[in-house]
Amino acid sequence: MTFSLNSIQKSSSANRFVEKFRSTPTESSDRRKSIYSALIAKSRYVSSGDFKRIAPSDLEILFEDYDRQYFRGFMSETFQTISPASVAFRLSKRMTSVGGSTSLRKKKDPSGSPAAESEITIAIDMLYQQFKSGDGVVIVNGLECSDRLLAL
């Protein structure tokens, strides 16, 4: 059976989605460690968990790796269905009340036809400030994070 955006939309609850992508705590921990290491290996800027510099391309690497390891490409497929243009990634110094956001902007393409643009934004200053003094652990979405990359 194929699992797609269309099948989720037709479902009466999110249970099918949760069941399809559920993982054990050990599996999740292993995947996070793999993604953490992969970003450090692939990035031009991130060389440790307490990185001093990061680029939007690093967010794209993280998105692709999380999507592949947790959702088997489902998130990319969903964004492609909603907005055929690729997802844009942005670092914001202005966001102060949320750690990140995902947005969909409706617009018109050059021919005047309806189009959409997806964007994932991370509040980078908030991330830097949380680990400025280097003391302790920060809880992000219920997970203990000892450095910026884990929190991200």
Q: Could you read off the pLDDT of 19-75 as tens digits, one per residue?
A: 888 899 999 999 999 999 999 999 999 999 999 999 999 999 999 999 999 999 988
Question: Is 54 among the domain residues?
Answer: yes
pLDDT digits (tens, 9 = 90+) for 73-126: 988 888 888 777 778 999 999 888 888 998 888 877 778 777 778 899 999 998
Residue 140's H or E segment, with its range, is: strand 138-140
Crossing angle of helices 74-82/56-71, nearest 10°? 120
Q: Cα torsion for 7, 73, 22, 26, to the nearest 10°?
A: 180
pTM of the predicted model as reported, rounded to 2 decimal places: 0.82
Q: Is the confidence at residue 2, as pLDDT, over 50? A: no
Split into its structural domains, the chain has a count of 1
Asked, for residue 5, whether it belongs to a domain, the answer is: no
Please indicate, yes or no, if residue 68 is contained in any of the structural domains: yes
Q: Check residue 28 and give its pLDDT.
A: 93
Strand partners, 118: 104
- 99 contacts 140 by C-beta, under 8 angstroms: yes
pLDDT value for 89: 95
CB-CB contact of 116 with 106 (8 Å) = yes
pLDDT the model gives residue 8: 56
Predicted confidence at residue 104, as pLDDT, reads 83
Q: With respect to residue 7, please indicate whether it lies within any of the assigned structural domains.
A: no
Domain that holds residue 130: 22-151
Does the residue 2 lie in any domain?
no
Distance, CA of 107 to CA of 115 (rounded, Å): 5
> Is 6 a member of any domain?
no
Look at residue 36 and tell me if it is in a domain: yes
